[in-house]
Amino acid sequence: KAGVTQTPRYLIKTRGQQVTLSCSPISGHRSVSWYQQTPGQGLQFLFEYFSETQRNKGNFPGRFSGRQFSNSRSEMNVSTLELGDSALYLCASTPYGTGISPLHFGNGTRLTVT
């Protein structure tokens, strides 16, 4: 079974631009979560989608948004990029809405904002 796939792997953008990151979960997984990882703030939860509905959202400004499609693939969008948005963005999927089933992570998208 293919793992969680994130594209692109690396991205360089200019301040003020917007960016869209993509995540394809493991087949059959209905929950997709996004995390931001930075040296200063560590791993922070962005949002979770389950069956196309946003279920939880972390403490991030409205410039960060996401969506999930009927095939469970997810995208996250960051508008009006700031230098502080430079980070590794990790996507994770799990089959169910809750439970002990662990999150399976992708390799991440490294976003650099200049």
Partner 1 sequence: AQTVTQSQPEMSVQEAETVTLSCTYDTSESDYYLFWYKQPPSRQMILVIRQEAYKQQNATENRFSVNFQKAAKSFSLKISDSQLGDAAMYFCAYRFPNNAGNMLTFGGGTRLMVKP
Select from 2, 4, 20 the least CA-distant residue to 92.
4
Question: Nearer to partner 1 by C-beta: 56 or 80?
Answer: 56
Residues forming the site for partner 1 (CB under 8 A): 31, 33, 35, 42-43, 45, 48, 50, 55-56, 58, 88, 90, 92, 94, 97-100, 102-108, 110
Name the token pair of 13: 């953008």
What's the CA gap between 94 and 73, in Å, rounded? 12
> Minimal distance in Å, beta carbon 75 to partner 1?
18
Rounded to a whole number of angstroms, the minimum distance from the CB of residue 8 to partner 1 is: 14
Of the pair 13, 105, the CB lying nearest partner 1 is at: 105
Q: How far is the CB of 42 from partner 1 (least distance, A)?
A: 5
Identify residue 4 by its one-letter amino acid code: V
- In angstroms, the CA 50 to CA 54 distance is 6
Contact 47, 54 (CB under 8 A): yes
SS3 12: strand
Whose Cβ is closer to partner 1: residue 49's or residue 113's? Answer: 49
